[in-house]
Amino acid sequence: MDEPCRIAVRREGPFLVDGPVEITLEDGTTVRSDRFRVALCTCRRSRRFPWCDASHRRRVRE
């Protein structure tokens, strides 16, 4: 049996997914990363979406 995919959820950050991963985007295109762990953007501010580039850190808090 294969190991389950491990995803770490963070309150104000990306989802950390043990890789490699293949992701199907809303438009049907597929992106892949062979890295051992990837950060998936949850705030949609990333210029590299679906990969997180830490843009969520620059958010102004009220």
**pLDDT of amino acid 11:** 81
DSSP 8-55: E--TTSPEEEES-EEEE-TTS-EEEE-SSEEEE-SSS--TTTTB--SG
**pLDDT of amino acid 55:** 79
Q: 4-59 pLDDT, tens per residue? A: 888 898 887 889 999 899 999 999 999 999 999 999 998 888 888 899 988 777 66
If pLDDT is split at 50, 70 and 90, which confidence band does 60 have?
A: low
Question: Which pTM was predicted?
Answer: 0.73
